[in-house]
């Protein structure tokens, strides 16, 4: 091969390599630009989700406080509840009659332990579920 042919072959090879290099550079730039925009979109999405998680956590904390307050109110109302038979006994005693108490069916159990109040005071979870399963009929009767 002559020098001119060798030079021509070298120029052709160099031109082909430069073209291939430019193609590879363009492909890498496209991938980089796409990846950068995807990364920015993912960061924005994460920020939105973090804000929503914070918002939901605050709402959940407020709900827990409300549940706690309502449980306290229920317990105080349950403790101040007076049955009709007790009121009748007080009225009868006020006019000089000695009342006699006849136990009603299930009343002795209800007076001994108020299963509904105990159930409502337990935190939500396994302990509360186990207590409900153990005293299901008493809790349902008290709720009705």
pLDDT tens by residue, 89-136: 778 778 877 766 555 555 554 456 788 888 888 888 899 999 999 988
- What is the per-residue pLDDT for 106? 54
pLDDT by residue (tens digit) across 27-82? 888 878 778 788 888 999 999 999 999 999 999 999 999 999 999 999 888 887 77
Mean pLDDT (the chain, rounded): 84
Give the whole-number percent of the chain exceeding pLDDT 70.
Answer: 90
Q: Alpha helix locations (H) across 81-135?
A: 84-94, 107-112, 115-121, 126-134
φ, ψ of residue 76 to 5 degrees: the values are: -70, -40
Determine the pLDDT at residue 40: 87
Other Cβ atoms within 10 Å of 128 Cβ, number? 15
pLDDT band at 25 (very low <50, low <70, confident <90, very high): very high
Give Dmax over CA atoms of the chain in angstroms: 140
pLDDT score recorded for residue 109 = 45
pLDDT of residue 94: 81
């Amino acid at each position: 091969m002559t020098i001119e042919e060798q030079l021509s072959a070298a120029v052709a090879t160099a031109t082909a390599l430069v073209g291939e290099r430019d193609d590879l550079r363009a492909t890498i730039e496209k991938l980089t630009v796409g990846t950068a925009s995807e990364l920015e979109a993912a960061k924005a999405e994460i920020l939105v989700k973090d804000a929503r998680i914070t918002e939901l956590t605050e709402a959940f904390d407020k709900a827990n406080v409300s549940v706690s307050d309502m449980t306290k109110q229920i317990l105080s109302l349950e403790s101040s509840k007076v049955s009709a038979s007790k009121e009748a006994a007080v009225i009868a005693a006020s006019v000089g009659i000695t009342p006699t108490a006849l136990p009603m069916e299930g009343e002795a159990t209800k007076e001994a332990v108020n299963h509904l109040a105990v159930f409502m005071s337990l935190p939500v979870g396994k302990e509360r579920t186990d207590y409900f399963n153990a005293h299901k009929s008493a809790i349902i009767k008290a709720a009705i």
